[in-house]
Amino acid sequence: MSRAGAADRFDTADRFDTAELRRRVLAGWAGSVSRFREDANSEEDHALGGYRDRLVVELAQNAADAARRASDGTAGALRLTLADGVLVAANTGAPLDRPGVESLVSLRASAKRGPGTIGRFGVGFAAVVAVSDQPAIRSTTGGVRWSAAESRRAAEAVPGLRAEIDARGGGVPLLRLPWPDDTPPPAGFDTAVVLPLRDGDAERAVREMLGGVDPGLLLALPDLATVEVEIDGRVRRLHAAVGPDTLVEIHDGPEVTRWRVRRGGGELAPGLLEQRPVEERWRPVWNVTWAVPVDSAGEPSGRLPVDGVARAPTPTDEPLGLPALLIASFPLDPSRRHVAPGPLRDFLVARAAEGYAAVLGELPALPSRLRLVPTGPAAGELDAELRRAILAELAGTAFLVPAVPAVPAVPAVPAGAAEGGLRPSEAIALDDALVQPLAGVIGGLLEAGWTGGDGDRALAVLGVRRPGLAEVVDALAGADRPPDWWFAVYVGLDTALPPTPAEREPLAGLPVPLTDGRLARGPRGLVLGGEGLAPAVVEALDLRVVHPAAAHPLLRALGASDADPARLLDEPRLRAAVEASFDAALDGADPNLLADAVLGLVAASGATFADRPWLSELALPGADGEPYPAGELLLPDGVLAGLVEDDAPFGRVDVSLVERWGRDALAAVGVLDGFATVADAELSLDGPGEHDLDAEAGWLAWLRDSVGAADDAVIAEFGAVRDLELVRADVWPRVLELLGGSRLRALVVEPVHVLAGGRRYPRVPYTAWWLARHPVLDGARPDRLRAADADPELHGLYDPAPPLVDAEFAAALGVLRSLDDADPDDVAARLADPARVLDRRIVRTLHGWLAERPPQRPPGQVRGVRGGRLDVVPPGDAVVLAAPDRAPFADGRAVLPCRLEVGAALGAALGVQVLGLRGDHPVESVGSDRDVPGLLRDLVPGLPTSYVEHTPLRVGGRTVPWWFADGVLHVDAGHRMIGLGRGAAWAVGDWTLRAVLTEAALLADDAPVELVERLRTETDLD
C-alpha cells in the first residue's frame, strides 16, 4: 500500500490515523474547555520555557533515540539544514510509528519508556513551537504535519471554545491536531523534521543554536556518530570516532578534540525515585558519563572546550568548573533547567565522584593527572557538591606516582599504600630537585614533576603533606650514602632553598661527608677544597674537610669555608701552633711536619711574614740539625749570610728544606736572604719599642723630645730594616747599595709621621736614624761627614763623604749639606780640634751658630785669637768680649771671635768668661773736658757734644785708648782720633761706623802695630 493511501487509516498496528487523533482531541476539548486551556498552557510552557533554546539539542536527542531503536545497530547520523527560512533535521534510524505520533500530540506522555532511550517525558518536540507555526515530520512510514491556522479553524468550530480562543489572542495548541504529510524524507535518511521558521527572529535564534553545536553533543548522545550542520550551503560536519581505551575523537572539520570517556550506570533503588514523576519511575536506571579532554598523548588538557554545564543529557543551567564534561541522569525540576535536590541527586553526585576518580586513574600516570583535581572556588551549588565528593573519593584513590629510589634503603612506598600508586593521604611532596636523591630515604615521596605551579595547589587541596626543611634534615641524619649522593642532595636543596637566612636555619644540622669517612652534622666550620692540604695543617687546625665528591657551593653559603691558603693562615689555631712550634721542637717534636704545612700555605697564598710577623716564629730545621725560629735562620747562599758577623745569632737553614720549598717560600716565613723588615700600622712613642730593633728605645725617645713628648704621640705606618747592628764593618758599601735599592730605600729616605697633639710631624725614620749614628761610610758616621757641595762653613770642619750613595740617600743618612744639619756638640768639638785648619771668618761664623744652638755639654777646648793668630785653648784661657773697650782686659787670654750681640750667649754655651758683662773697672786718671769735633758730630748724629781727654787714660791699672762708662766717653790724648772714632760709634750704638772713623784716625796718626792689631780684634766683634 502506498504511503498516501494509508495516511488516515490504522489498518496495521504501525500505522497512524491523524483524522482519528484530531477527532479525539477535538472531542475532549468540546467536553471540557478546561482541557483546552490546559493543553494550550502546557504547550506554551514548553515552547517558551524549558525548551525555548533547546530545539537543536532536542532534535539531536530524538535522532539518537531513533538510531538506538534501529534494529541494525548502526550509529545514527543527523543533518541539520537551514535554507530559505526552513530548518530541516534529517536523521537515520527507526522511522516514525504510531506510538511516536501519539506521544507527539499528547504533550504529556512519552513513548520512550524503555531503559535505553534518552528522552523521558515526550515533551521535547514542543520546542519546535518556539520557531515554527507549520512543523512537519516526514518518515519512511508516513508523515504528519501541523498548522497553526488549520488548528485554529478546527478549534473555533468546537462549541464553547471561540471565547477562550479570542481570550488567548487566537492561539490554540498547535501540536494537538496533526494532519497527514505524504512527503518523503530526504534520500538516505529515515526521518526528517521540517520547520518553516516563523519570522526573522526565529531564524536568528535557529542560526545561533546551530552555531552552538559542539563536540559535547556527540559525547552526550553516543548513538549519534555524525552531525552535519548546513547553513545557506555551508556545511560543517562533526563525527565521533571511538578508539581504544575509551578514547573518543570528535572531528569537527579539520579540528579534532580527543576525549577520555568513562560511562557508568545501573538500576536505581526504588526509594531514590519516591519523589519523582511516575514516568521517570517507570525507568529506574541511572547513568553517569565523564568525558575528559586530552591531548594527542592522552594527557588531560586541563581545560574544557565546551560549555561547562552539567548535561542530563541536554545541557542544564547548572555551571560546573571542572575540566571535564559531565553527562548524567540527574533529576530535573519542572523548568528542565536545574537539577532537582533530593536523594537521587545525592546518589548521582556520589556515583559521579567515583567515576571521576576512576577516569583520573585511567589517565597516563603523569603529573598531568593533577589537572583534574578540583581547585579554586566552586561555580555553583552542584559544582560545590561534586568537588567535595570528588576530593573525598580522591583521598582514598592511589593515583599518585611514587618516586623510585636509585638505591633503596627504606621502602619508598609506606605501609598500606596501594600497589603501583600512592593515596594522597600517604604521599609526601618535595621539590623536584630533591626527589631523586631522597627517594630512598623518605618513604611515600612523590615522583619528580608533580610539584610546582598548579600542581602545588592540587596537592594542597588533596592534603598531600610537604615536610619542612627541619624534617628533611632529620630524615637525612641516618642516611648511609656515598659522597656523590650527598652532592645530589645539596643540588636539590640549593634549588629548593628558601630565600631568607631565617628560613634556612634548619639546614644548620645538614649532614656532610668528610674525607676521613665521618659524617659531620652541619656545614658550619667545615672546609671545602681542602683534600690537598698537608696532614700537618689538618692536624694542627683540627680541620674537618668536606669530601671532594660532596663539595657543593650550598655548603659554603651555610657556613663552610674554602680551603683558601690565606684564610687558613689566619686561623688562630694555626698561629698558636706556629708560635709554639720552637718550644715543641725543643721538646722533641719533628719541626718538618708543621713547617711543610705552613710553607705550603705560604707558597700558595703569597703571604709573607711582613703581613703576618708571627710566621717568623715557625720552627725550621737548621743545617746543624737544631731547630730555629724562621726569623733566626739565613739562607745558606743568601745575601745576608755574606754580610753579617760570624758570631751573629743566626743559623743556616737546612739545604733539604731549600730544595723542597725554594728560597721564596722560606723568605716569606722570615728566613733571611736579604735584610728583613718590621712593620706596624701604628706605633706608640710611649715605650721602649716592640720590634727588637737595636737602639729602638733611643730612637723613640729622640722622637718624643722632637715633638714635645705629647702623651698621645704615635707613629703612623711604621717600618724599619732590622739586624743592621750585625753587619760586618768591611761590607757597609755593599749594604748601603742594598739599602738604596727599590725594596728597602723607602725605609731610609721617606720620613715617618708622628701624630701628636692634633698635628702631624715628619721625622727621620728609624733606619736612617740608626745609620746616621754608626760608622757606615768609610768607617765614619754619615752625620759626621759633609756632602761635596755642602756650605763653606763645613768644609774645614767635616771631611767629605765618599761617593758611595746618591745625594738623596746621603741626605737621608745624615750627610751634612749645611751647618744647620750638624750636631752642636759635634761642631763645638770639631771647632776645638787643633788638626782642623779654619780661617778666622769661618770660626767667627761657627761661634755665632753655637751661640744660637748651644751644645748639651761645654767642650773641653775652644778656639780663639791670641797673639794675632787662632789658637786652641782651654775655656779658662779664653774670653768673650761683650763690649769693644774691654779688649785690654783679656790679659793675654785668647779672645773668641764673634759678633758683639751673641757674645754673652757664646760665653754661656762654651763656658768662657764674658768681658763687659759683669763687674766694671773705675777710671783712675784725671782728664779734662773737650768738645767733640763738629765733623764727627756731623758723621755721627746723636753723638755727645763733649768727651773727657786723659794723658794717659788709665782704667783698672791699664792704659787704654778709650773707655765708655756711665754715658761718658773717655779718650787717651795719644790716640785721640782712634778713641773718638771707636767711642763715638759705640756711644751711639752703631759699631759699624768705627771703620770710617778709624781710617781717619790712622791717616792722622802714625799708629803703632799693636794698636792696629787691637783694631782688627775689634773688627771681629762686628
Runs of H (alpha helix) within 363-442: 381-395, 432-438
Element (H, E) at 581: helix 581-586
Q: What is the DSSP letter of 738?
A: H
**In this structure, what are the phi and psi dihedrals at residue 604, rounded to the nearest 5 degrees?**
-75, -30
Is the torsion defined by CA of 1001, 1002, 1006, 1012 positive or negative?
positive
- CB-based contacts of 851, cutoff 8 Å, min separation 6: 898, 902, 903, 905, 906, 909
878-881 vs 894-895, strand pairing mode? parallel
Asked if 425 contacts 446 with a C-beta cutoff of 8 angstroms, the reply is no
Mean pLDDT of 520-545: 84
Cα distance between residue 528 and residue 557, in whole Å: 11
Q: Which of 212, 210, 254 is nearest to 232 (CA)?
A: 210
Instruction: Quote the pLDDT of residue 1002.
Output: 52
Q: 3-state SS of 138-188?
A: EECCEEEECCHHHHHHHHHCCCCCHHHHHHCCCCCCCCCCCEECCCCCCCC
Asked if 1018 contacts 884 with a C-beta cutoff of 8 angstroms, the reply is yes
Dihedral Cα 452, 458, 460, 464, nearest 10 deg: -90
Res 737 pLDDT > 80? yes
Instruction: Quote the pLDDT of residue 42.
Output: 80
Letter string b/e over residues 677-689, b meaning 16 or more CB atoms within 10 A of that residue's CB: bbebeebebeeeb
Q: Residue 904 forms beta bridges with which residues? A: none
Instruction: Quote the pLDDT of residue 571.
Output: 83
Q: What is the DSSP letter of 372?
A: G
Instruction: Quote the pLDDT of residue 852.
Output: 94
C-alpha cell at 194: 521540517
Q: What is the mean pLDDT of the chain?
A: 86
Confidence of residue 999 (pLDDT cuts 50, 70, 90): low
Number of Cβ atoms within 10 Å of the Cβ of 285: 12
653: amino acid identity, one letter: V
Instruction: Quote the pLDDT of residue 542.
Output: 80
pLDDT digits over 804-842, tens only? Answer: 778 899 999 999 999 998 999 999 999 999 999 999 999
Res 416 pLDDT > 50? no
Cα distance between residue 314 and residue 751, in whole Å: 103
Q: Which of 868, 824, 809 is nearest to 1011 (CA)?
A: 868
**In this structure, what are the phi and psi dihedrals at residue 411, rounded to the nearest 5 degrees?**
-55, 130
Q: What is the DSSP letter of 889?
A: G
Cα distance between residue 574 and residue 617, in whole Å: 12
- CB-based contacts of 475, cutoff 8 Å, min separation 6: 438, 441, 442, 467
| Region for residue 750 given its phi and psi (left: phi exceeds 0; alpha: psi -120 to 50; beta: otherwise) | beta
Mean pLDDT of 176-183: 92
Residue with cell 744660637: 852
Confidence of residue 800 (pLDDT cuts 50, 70, 90): very high
The DSSP-derived string for 76-123 is EEEEEEEETTEEEEEE-SS---HHHHHHHHHSS--S--STT-S--SS-
**In this structure, what are the phi and psi dihedrals at residue 864, rounded to the nearest 5 degrees?**
-140, 180
Tell me whether residue 871 is exposed, middle or buried, using C-beta atoms within 10 angstroms of its C-beta: 0 to 12, 13 to 18, 19 or more.
middle
- Estimate to the nearest angstrom the gap between the alpha carbon of 538 and the chain centroid: 31
Asked if 600 contacts 534 with a C-beta cutoff of 8 angstroms, the reply is yes
C-alpha cell at 219: 559525547
Percent of the residues in the chain that have a pLDDT greater than 90, as a whole number: 49
Confidence of residue 593 (pLDDT cuts 50, 70, 90): confident
Instruction: Quote the pLDDT of residue 652.
Output: 92
Query: How many Cα atoms are found within 13 Å in the side-chain-facing hemisphere of 690?
Result: 13
Instruction: Quote the pLDDT of residue 834.
Output: 93
- In Å, how far are 63, 262, 399, 522, 625 from 369, measured between CA atoms? 35, 15, 8, 38, 79
Q: Which of 903, 909, 852, 863 is nearest to 882 (CA)?
A: 903
pLDDT digits over 873-916, tens only? Answer: 999 999 999 888 888 888 889 999 999 889 999 999 999 999 88
- In Å, how far are 56, 92, 715 from 249, measured between CA atoms? 22, 21, 92
Residue with cell 748651644: 854
Instruction: Quote the pLDDT of residue 882.
Output: 87
pLDDT digits over 363-392, tens only? Answer: 999 999 999 999 989 999 999 999 999 999
Specify the length of the chain in residues.
1022
Of 266-280, 424-438, 669-683, the one with minimum mean pLDDT is: 266-280
Instruction: Quote the pLDDT of residue 117.
Output: 47
C-alpha cell at 957: 791699672
Cα distance between residue 92 and residue 760, in whole Å: 114
- In Å, how far are 859, 877, 943, 963 from 892, measured between CA atoms? 21, 8, 32, 19
Cα distance between residue 180 and residue 104, in whole Å: 14
Cα distance between residue 325 and residue 226, in whole Å: 19
Q: Residue 895 forms beta bridges with which residues? A: 865, 879
Helices 200-211 and 55-69, interaxial angle, to 10°? 60
Is the torsion defined by CA of 597, 598, 601, 602 positive or negative?
negative
Confidence of residue 327 (pLDDT cuts 50, 70, 90): very high
Asked if 259 contacts 291 with a C-beta cutoff of 8 angstroms, the reply is yes
Percent of the residues in the chain that have a pLDDT greater than 70, as a whole number: 90
Mean pLDDT of 158-166: 89
Asked if 249 contacts 89 with a C-beta cutoff of 8 angstroms, the reply is no
Cα distance between residue 214 and residue 221, in whole Å: 12
Instruction: Quote the pLDDT of residue 998.
Output: 59
Instruction: Quote the pLDDT of residue 913.
Output: 93
Per the model's pLDDT, the better-predicted residue between 1004 and 472 turns out to be: 472
Is the torsion defined by CA of 199, 201, 204, 209 positive or negative?
negative
Res 110 pLDDT > 70? no
| Region for residue 291 given its phi and psi (left: phi exceeds 0; alpha: psi -120 to 50; beta: otherwise) | beta
Confidence of residue 47 (pLDDT cuts 50, 70, 90): low
Per the model's pLDDT, the better-predicted residue between 441 and 349 turns out to be: 349
Cα distance between residue 416 and residue 343, in whole Å: 34
Confidence of residue 410 (pLDDT cuts 50, 70, 90): very low
Instruction: Quote the pLDDT of residue 499.
Output: 66
Mean pLDDT of 614-619: 93
pLDDT digits over 259-300, tens only? Answer: 999 999 999 888 887 777 666 776 788 999 999 999 988 999
- Estimate to the nearest angstrom the gap between the alpha carbon of 709 and the chain centroid: 50
